[in-house]
Structure 1
Amino acid sequence: MSSAPQAGGARIDHLVTSGTFSLDGGTWEVDNNVWLVGDDREVYVIDAAHDADAILEAVGGRRLLGIISTHGHDDHIDAAPEVAERAGAPVLLHPADSELWKLRHPDLRPDAALTDGESLQVAGVELRVLHTPGHSPGAVCLYAPELGTVFSGDTLFQGGPGATGRSFSSFPTIVESIRERLLTLPPETVVRTGHGDSTTIGDEAPHLEEWIARGH
């Protein structure tokens, strides 16, 4: 696990977990970024992917305020119920992704709904929920202005938008989400993605028209 000190006592911890992603009859091996935002007392987990033991080890003795799911694809939520049960913490998901959630956890429900514009507080910093549909109907990003970062899930990556070739996805919708909700953030904002390397808003913004041309 790696850590990056940030504003005040808050910091961002990062680990990579490995497993599979399944949808539309296919299964693929994937590595997922799991992000933890907090301090020595309390923390949020963003996307409880694959490995509950590793995630809980990263949480350590801190109070887990919740597990924020950026969307309902199974590789981002497969470990969420186990982490939630063992830590006594709620799972948060935008309700537009309830159908995707049910594909993985048909007998369980998330504990709370994420809503656009909602502000979650941890370690003196804000995580602002931005509804960014396209990769999935209920995809969200978490903007942390004090930390100069946005956790983009699978909405925006280094090099372009997340995939939109499977069920529940839409390329025009994801481009509009990125244009309206993410590229309006300060250009120095660090984009911490659901898979792969981080980037910045300033690095990705100039390529919007290229993405649109590729999508058509």
Structure 2
Amino acid sequence: MKLWLKHYWQDLISDYADTALMDTLWTTIVSKYTSKNRHYHNLSHIYTMYLQLEGFTNEIEDLESLKLAIWFHDIIYKSTNIDNETLSADFAAKALNKLPTDVFNIEKITNLIISTKKHKCLLTENNDNAYLLDLDLSILGTDWKTYSTYLQKIRKEYKIYPDIIYKPGRKKILKHFLERDTLYFTERFKTQFEKQARNNLMREINTL
């Protein structure tokens, strides 16, 4: 997986960065996503998003921007932070500004990243934003066994909080999602994941 991701990264920016800069950025990305507090928001999460994306790249308007948004959307992640997405967007902007070219639309990339905070499309005329959000939440619509493993990983990331704080907070988030007309924005993901995702969220609520 890690080698696959490295090649994916190199293919994405090798035309715009020298080897030293490309390797430096890669080392930084790996360091962030493999830190000891990462149990779900790690390289496996990024890998899963990219594997799914490969199935419909022809539907994406700005593939490079979407791929970069995926790389950086969780680059900063700490369970006690309330601004991980903003910090991740800032990190992405600084990293991409090191490249000796303005080929990437950094403003679009940072907006895509920030949209994952509330999981609402900021770029309403851009279907890529919808796909990013759906890719990020596809885990919600997996089978219950996979979903249960995801729950365990999320709980580990929030281990600083006792159940008396964690469970009500988690339940509030789940109910917020269930109150939405749809969990997913694209027809592709609605068809594949919506029903199972709602079942999973309701089942989890009953365990809290």
Fold in common (TM above 0.5) = no
Structure having the higher Rg: 2
**Greater relative contact order (CA < 8 Å, ≥ 6 in sequence):** 2
For Structure 1 versus Structure 2, the TM-score category normalised by the shorter chain is 0.3 to 0.5
Q: Which has the higher helix share?
A: 2
Q: Which has the higher strand share?
A: 1
